[in-house]
Chain A
Amino acid sequence: MSLFGKTPSFDFMGKRRLAEVLSVILIVVSFGSLFIRGLNFGIDFTGGVLLEVAYEGTADLAEIREVLTEAGFGTPLVQNFGTADEALIRLPPQENQDGGEIRDNVLGALQASDPTVELRRIEFVESQVGEDLTEQGSLAMLIALILIFIYVMLRFRWKFAAGAIAALVHDVVLLVGYFSVFGIGFDLTIVAAILATIGYSLNDTIVVFDRIRENFRIMRRGSAVDIINTSINQMLARTLITAVTTLLVLISLFVLGGEAVSGFALALIVGIVVGTYSSIYIASALALALDVSPADLMPVKREEVDELP
């Protein structure tokens, strides 16, 4: 079996204007949504209380809401979680009560209305912890980007490093935008998913760059556009197959992993799609826009491995 009988010859770079327009639109939408709607931050970031409860029989969401509102917990967010028997309850940060009291009081109120309730999980986070996490998360992402930039610069020179970083920023913006537009809960695991997407997308980008570098050496006469096009085409089968195998496992994680990891899996699924697209268009197109020449591609130090026949 083979995706393409021979090396395909799609004119990727010829369509790059179209891709640029698409990306710009998506980025504008992402920023617009972030600006207007913001992110639906989970309690990891905002602080608050999260409870997962299970009932023998269907969980009556309306009643849970009523019971907790009456008990003075503000307006709780109650939704089904996994099955109809389970409910996820989110409370705003509670003043003057610590985690233990909240737990006992909430459970007491729920038990009074239905004694079959079982506490499956409770998370209680002070808002200050959330602030620290936001700070740490942003710092981690920044440091990762800087280190990656340095590594790619050492291996490929700066024009490609700029292309790679631009592709990563593009991916992160679109991914965060996706979470904002659809109002999906944004918690710590999503940050992990974004960083994993960075890793994956970068992987893809580097593979294409590597081929571009190699082809610049072999195809001395071709224009930069031709060389980049050829390289992307040569790697196209690999790019798609790796995306497929990764998506296969992510879909199984999404379907079987349960509510706790489905958000994470979904973030990665979107991330893989965006990352694959960006390593074809954004990274290469930016390198092209910066007017790459063979001189920009030679590594500072020649690698023995590359010299093998």
Chain B
Amino acid sequence: MNRYPLWKNLLVAGVVLFGAIIAAPNLFGDDPALQITREDGAPLAAATIDVVTSALAAAEIEFLSTEVDGGAALVRFGNVESQLAASTVVREELPFHVVALTLAPRTPVLLSALGLQPMSLGLDLRGGVHFLYQVDLDTALTQYLQTFESDIRARLREAGIRNRVRVNGDFVEVPIVDREQLDAAGDIVYSLDPLLNISSATFDGDPGFRIALAPMQVTERQNFAIQQNTITLRNRVNELGVAEPVVQRQGIDRILVQLPGVQDPSQAERILGATATLEFRLVDTENDPFDAERRGRAPLNSILRFDTSGVPVLLRRDVIVSGDQLTDATFGYSQGQPAVFVRLNNQGANRMLEVTQANLNRMMAVLFIEEKPEIIERDGEQIMRTTREETVINQATIRGVFSSRFQITGVSPFEGQDLALMLRAGALATPIVKVEERTIGPSLGQDNIERGRNAVVLGFLLVVIFMTLYYRVFGLIANLALFANLVLIIALLSLLQASLTLPGIAGIVLTVGMAVDANVLIFERIREELRNGNSPQASIRAGYDKAFSTIADANITTLIAAVVLFAFGTGPVKGFAITLTLGIVTSMFTAIIGTRAVVNLIYGSRQVGSLSIGGQAAPA
């Protein structure tokens, strides 16, 4: 007799049922939707949703439903076209709000109340932008050395010691001009930081010190640079208004950014990649900028710059306020005109007050400075370089005396929004450069989902037909296990919220093919036992027992390959490794314990003359 104890049957039934419930949210699909939140993160006003619905009604855009959950509102649409049209309408209607394109799952309330979610889809399936940034760690270290340089210079000057301190490569060099002062300088240099590696050296005949960072300081500083960039990127991504973005460190010096649903990578990139700062300067109206352009030289105390359309502008050399004194910048409307509202810190406010008092009704300009990192090749080596672009983006007459709060008008809504975003996100501490970009259009994502689904369905059907023809009733049992296996993989993916990608689907397809292997091993063994004249019950027992160690060995070795793949792989490889790993684990359960439970239920508790396992009939 072959019978499972009750608990084993319950375990099998329980796991499958549980898996089915967890996998259930995937059955319902999703709607294109808009997710609306406030820029400052505060909860939405109750009336916001009414504003949205009436604006959509006025624009004759049909939507399915609206819901408000905590700080965010969600508006569902029947198709992508109305979603896109609506996003334009809603953005215009709601300044100070972030309107993100997203896919909202149609999970029934009953399931979502249990905290159950469908699988999250990778970028290749839902469309979006993928950026990989590299952090310029060399610059980060140089900046760190520069802080020591200026510290030393200040302290030596205080002590009246003449020096020529400078940063040279990986070192801070401190040549001392007057030998008499060498000992006093040494006391100061050695008291800086006990971790620093300091040695005596001679520079062009001057004695002095050479300072290098300790390995621990280098690592610490590099980690710091990456963390800071990760945080800045995350803030910028949040401002970009993307549902479910990914910003994470990858490897030693890279940061991965994934923006699902983003359809304009150029805009995303402008906001993520550039370091922006502002300088407020008075406009030099006494001299002719065109004349200066012709002569290629600006008058004394002025600088020559150009505005966005290439028209020359002369600016006063003195900076009134610079970007680091800026505390906030938001986009909005002032008397119907698009405007950027700027706030300054105390220092900046005092300076602004002074200047506006003295220069009422004169022109003030905003100089926009963008630092773009790029990689260039020099002597066969790739090095990172930062280029600086300065543009006059705004000139306005000073209409009143102001200090800490003022507004910049005369920008288009588009420029204003971008400008406010970049200013608020603050300057990046260390230059980063994009080393990889992948953009997947939304239609391609939809195609990929369909293709993947079709491939899984067809592959599954082919295997099911084959197994039924070949192994009869046992084949049907294996098919049942295969289906349960598929449900469990989907349940685990939903539970882990690991992104499903196209290679991931390929992994599932492969698992479907390989999962029956365990059953093939067992069934072939049972047939063999039957051929050797054993009774059906004994053959079943022997078949499962003898095949077990083989199945275990075979699966563990495959698992090793899959886990290594997961640990070392990135992107597509990782997606494939996840589903393959999950598939191996779940298939062991369903193919061995699961099928045995069903076989026992059908044949286990009675006298059986023969087994319906295909091939030769066993002697009774």
Which A residues are CB-close (under 8 A) to B437? 99-100, 103, 122-124
Interchain CB contact under 8 A, B573 and A143: no
CA–CA, A236 to B172, complex, Å?
71
Q: Is the CB of A104 within 8 A of B512?
A: no
Bound together, the chains give a CA A70 to CA B85 distance in angstroms of: 36
Q: Which of A7, A140, A245, A309 contacts B463 (CB 8 A)?
A: A245
Summarize B's interface: helix, strand, loop or mixed. Answer: helix
| Residue in A100, A199, A241, A308 whose CB lies within 8 Å of B561 | A199
Considering the chains assembled together, what is the distance between the CA atoms of A217 and B356 in angstroms? 98
Chain B 411-449 against A: per-residue CB contact (8 Å), 1 yes, 0 no? 000000000000000000000011111111101100110
> B522 to nearest A CB, angstroms?
10
Which of B134, B509, B557 touches A203 (beta carbons < 8 Å)? B557
Query: Which residues of chain B (160-206) have a CB below 8 Å from chain A?
Result: none
CA distance A63 to B34 in the complex (A): 39
Whether the pair A246, B439 counts as a contact (CB closer than 8 A) is no
* A203 and B558 contacting across the interface, CB-CB below 8 Å: yes
Q: Does B324 contact A (CB under 8 A)?
A: no
Docked complex Cα distance between A7 and B531 (Å): 9
- Docked Cα-Cα span, A48 to B36, in Å, equals 37
CA distance A118 to B514 in the complex (A): 39
Would A200 and B439 count as touching, CB distance under 8 A? no
Question: Does the CB pair B564–A250 fall under 8 Å?
Answer: no
Asked if B228 lies at the interface with its beta carbon under 8 angstroms from chain A, I say no
Residues of A within 8 A of B562 (CB): 195, 199
| Contact partner, A244, options B466, B512, B546, B553, Cβ 8 Å | B466
Q: Which residues in B have their C-beta under 8 angstroms from that of A249?
A: 455, 459-460, 462-463, 509-510, 512-513
Bound complex: CA A94 to CA B119 (Å): 37
* Known contacts A121-B441, A189-B572, A308-B545; A98/B564 CB under 8 A: no
Contact B436 A245 (CB under 8 A): no
Q: Contacts A1-B469, A1-B470 given: A247-B444 contact, CB under 8 Å?
A: no
A289 sits at the interface (CB 8 A) = no
Contact with A along B535-578 (1 / 0, CB 8 A): 00000001001101110011111101110110111111100110
Residues on B with beta carbons closer than 8 Å to the beta carbon of A2: 470, 527, 614-616
Q: Are A98 and B374 in contact (CB under 8 A)?
A: yes
Q: Are A245 and B374 in contact (CB under 8 A)?
A: no
Count residues on chain B whose CB falls below 8 Å from chain A CBs. 88
Q: Is the pair B513, A152 in contact by a Cβ cutoff of 8 Å?
A: no
Q: Which residues of A contact B436 (CB under 8 A)?
A: 123-126, 129
Q: Determine the chain B residues whose CB is within 8 A of the CB of A147 once the complex forms.
A: 560, 564
Residues of A within 8 A of B550 (CB): 206-207, 210-211
Q: Which residues of A contact B377 (CB under 8 A)?
A: 95
Total CB contacts across the A-B interface at under 8 A: 261
The CB with the most chain B CB atoms within 10 A, among A104, A140, A191, is that of A140
Kindly report which residue of chain B lies nearest to residue A51, judged by CB atoms: B439
Chain B residues near A103: list those with CB within 8 A: 265-266, 437, 439
Looking at chain A's contact residues, is the secondary structure mostly helix, strand, loop, or mixed?
helix
The answer to whether B555 and A241 have CB atoms under 8 Å apart is: no
Q: Are B521 and A207 in contact (CB under 8 A)?
A: yes
Note all chain A residues with C-beta closer than 8 A to B462: 248-249, 252
Given contacts A120-B443, A242-B520, A248-B459, are A210 and B558 in contact (CB under 8 A)? no
For window 288-309 of chain A, which residues contact chain B by CB distance below 8 Å? Answer: 303, 305-306, 308-309
User: Quick check: is B502 within 8 A (CB to CB) of the other chain?
Assistant: yes
Residues of A within 8 A of B19 (CB): none
How far apart sit A99 and B448, CA to CA, in the bound complex (Å)?
A: 24
What separation, in Å, do the CA atoms of A95 and B377 have in the docked complex?
A: 9
Which one, A23-31, A71-79, A259-267, is touching chain B? A259-267
Sampled A-B contacts (13; CB under 8 Å):
A5-B616, A96-B374, A119-B441, A121-B441, A140-B564, A143-B568, A148-B557, A234-B528, A241-B470, A241-B520, A248-B513, A261-B451, A306-B549
Starting from the known contacts A120-B444, A123-B438, A125-B436, 18 additional A-B residue pairs (CB-CB under 8 Å) come to: A98-B434, A126-B375, A128-B134, A144-B564, A151-B557, A188-B572, A192-B573, A192-B576, A210-B549, A235-B524, A242-B516, A245-B467, A255-B455, A256-B451, A256-B458, A257-B502, A305-B549, A308-B545
Which 10 pairs, one residue from A and one from B, show the smallest C-beta to C-beta distance?
Answer: A249-B459, A246-B513, A140-B568, A2-B615, A126-B435, A199-B558, A199-B561, A99-B437, A252-B458, A249-B513
Q: Which residues does A use to contact B, with CB under 8 Å?
A: 1-2, 5-7, 52, 54, 95-96, 98-100, 103-104, 118-129, 132-133, 136-137, 139-140, 143-144, 147-148, 151-152, 155, 188-189, 191-192, 195-196, 198-200, 202-204, 206-207, 210-211, 214, 234-235, 237-238, 241-242, 244-250, 252-253, 255-258, 260-261, 264-265, 268, 303, 305-306, 308-309
